[in-house]
Amino acid sequence: MSLADHYKIAIGIDINHSYLTMAKRLCIYEGKPSVYYVVADVNYLPFRNEAIKIITAASIFEHIPDNPKVFDEIKRTLEPDRIFISGLPIEVGVPFLIKQIFFRIINWLRQDPVSISEILATFSYGDSHGPKWKSDHLDYNWKRTVAHIRARFSIEKTEILAG
């Protein structure tokens, strides 16, 4: 929505139609009518090669399977020497560990009993996490995502913002 102030056309993409409907209502409320909405899968963007000047992706990579094709598709649609801006959730340290323990205990209390080994397995970010947690964030590894981005784009600036 903020790009609508700087470009003639801004396009919002999501695989979920209801999220786009919500975004459209927010844009209308904020007076940003030049935003268009497309239901699409980020793995198969409906744009021709080198058609887009700037792509921003905020808080999406932790929700989609770890697939390098996503970044190839983003690069395919960008004009040469254009901009890709991504926001990644990067959490480390003691506050992250405390938050993870808290949410895992809450989840554990809400579902079928699980073994201690399953609870401990959820702390790894590999494919072996406990299957009963049903969270789309558990396999997310920001370092792997950054590696995919670095392999496809030249990085001019990296900022870590505490949230």
Same domain, 148 and 81: yes
What is the H or E stretch that residue 53 is in? strand 52-58
Same domain, 56 and 44: yes
Give the Å distances, CA to CA, from 2 to 6, 10, 58, 78, 89: 8, 9, 12, 19, 20
Same domain, 32 and 99: no
Structure tokens at 157: 């600036």
Whether 160 is covered by a domain: the verdict is no
Q: What confidence tens digit (pLDDT) does each residue in 57-69 have?
A: 887 888 787 778 9
Same domain, 12 and 64: yes
60-94 burial code (b ≥16 CB/10 A, e <16): bbbeeeeeeebbebbbbbbeeeeebebebeeeeee
Same domain, 116 and 47: no
> CATH code at 54?
3.40.50.150
Same domain, 27 and 81: yes
What is the H or E stretch that residue 10 is in? strand 10-14
Structure tokens at 37: 């909405």
Same domain, 86 and 10: yes
Structure tokens at 109: 């209390």
Same domain, 39 and 85: yes
Which domain covers residue 127, as residue numbers? 93-133
Total number of domains constituting the chain: 2
Whether 161 is covered by a domain: the verdict is no
| Contact criterion met (CB below 8 Å) for 54 and 28 | no
CA atoms within 13 A on the CB side of 4: 17
Same domain, 66 and 146: yes
Q: What confidence tens digit (pLDDT) does each residue in 19-31 have?
A: 889 888 888 888 8
| Contact criterion met (CB below 8 Å) for 143 and 90 | no
Whether 163 is covered by a domain: the verdict is no
- Grouped pLDDT means (10 residues each) for the chain, 163 residues: 83 90 88 87 94 88 82 94 84 66 67 55 46 53 85 80 52
Same domain, 8 and 54: yes
Same domain, 11 and 54: yes
